[in-house]
Structure 1
Amino acid sequence: MKTIDALRRLMGPVPRLVPGHVWLAGAGPGDPAHLTLGAIAGLAQADVIVHDALVDPRVLALKDEAAVLEFAGKRGGRPSATQADISRRLVELARAGRRVLRLKGGDPFVFGRGGEEALTLAREGIPFRIVPGVTSGLAGLALASIPATHRGVNQAVILATGHAADSAGDIDWAAVARTGFPVILYMAMKNLRRIAGALMAGGLAADTPAAIVVSATLPEEQVLVSTLERIAAEADQARLSPPAIVAIGGIVALREQLAGLARTLMEPVP
């Protein structure tokens, strides 16, 4: 059965990726098991797939045989295309009559700069579609047995980026600490020590549970559970590196109760 035929059985009418149009899609947290049907529809139809570094090769392998892959990964501290370059390239490809899939890790609108690309396309009069993805900060933690919300623990959760923690545009971490809500951090490994210190200076207890999930959902996943005071030092000792999600707050303490049974049930179908 062809991919599009299989999608029709699940979705009904499949949206058509038209020449000259761009789809901004999320590929989920890593493991292809969390890819959406909308993203698969884009992979099946695209002429060109402009993809990030964190998109799993097994996801890219779902493309049409004739489709071209263009790498547009942005990794901290490494040479990479600028956001302006990427946005400009999407416009060029669309104006050349290509069917373009811009494929990002996680969700394109959750710290994925999908909004910037969408605004560029809108300004240039390029038709586009948003295809949401499963964001790593929620799915990655869930699969590591850390629920983003839990009755009796929290009534809200804060999603934040740690990317700008050393710049003038930094978050008011003291204000975040005062909310008492758990914090889920994206792109925070470089600045984790600084962020943890700012949260404690803002009033968050040093023994607040904290965790790092590296390569969430993938076979090489690593999980470090510690406290806010110790998390950065222990991450250095364990030589943990991105991609990683950091969780801080009472939700982390639930992992000890949930992790054992959750893992024993994750057996493949024979």
Structure 2
Amino acid sequence: MQIKNFIVDKSLKELTQHRTMVFPIACYETTINQNKNGYIPLHWHDEFQFVLVMKGEAIFQINEEKLTVQEGEGLFINSGSLHMARDEVQSGCTYICLNVVPRFILSQELYTTFVTPYIQATNIPFLHLLPSELWGANILGSILKINQLIKQHSPYYEIDICVILSLMWKNLIRNGFKLEYEQAELSKSHRMKQMLNWIHLHYAEKILLEDIARAGHLSRSECCRYFKRMLKITPLNYVNDYRIQKSLILLQQPESNVTEVGYRVGFNSTSYFIDRFRKSMNMTPFAYKKALL
């Protein structure tokens, strides 16, 4: 299943239902440029995410770090980490995405000892999984196997997946990563989410840099440093990019009007809306709307 529209709440937490109550995992294949934004927008979720790139390469950003993940490589993205992905070289990047509720990784008796410390660690927002390293190759192979089991739907496949998940986690934690717990890192993540939450509540209104900084209890200059360090973008450019994302949903409505949509998402000039839209989507909102017909 390809998820083409990432639905997030006002704090950027992804709302897409990845699981059922019976079997709290989801595994699907994603082609980045088929997303309605042309990329996977910034979001986070409580689930662990395991990624295996099947074709091409992608630039992933996790919190404030960026890295290129090539065909055959993968990622472990920790619970609560902000992340996004782009196919910047138009390689047709497709990857398997495995999302797992942390409490499903191990039994309740083992969870506190072997899972909780890794969720709480501030130095492991992600791990780069490389086939050249035995532990990484084992995890990458397990992602592929789980994807196959879900497709085949063989008898007792759920039990097979539970066994594989336990072995995946053992491979991940047995390599001696030194866990760190820095209050400053926890505070930085909390403040960033406070500012993003405020933007997503007020994006349709006039927004000043002072407003965003106040939401994070920061000065204007420190607010800019947070955004540039963590998201590689200025606060107000982030606001405009988020407004463009919201406009895509409105433009899909048959009765929508480009001028009206621009004003509804917070642009006070139609020409400025069109200009920002073109820079973000490589087409005008008129062309985007026409392509939907």
TM-score range relative to shorter protein: under 0.3
Query: Which TM-score applies when normalising by structure 2?
Result: 0.23
Higher helix content, 1 or 2: 2
Query: Which TM-score applies when normalising by structure 1?
Result: 0.24
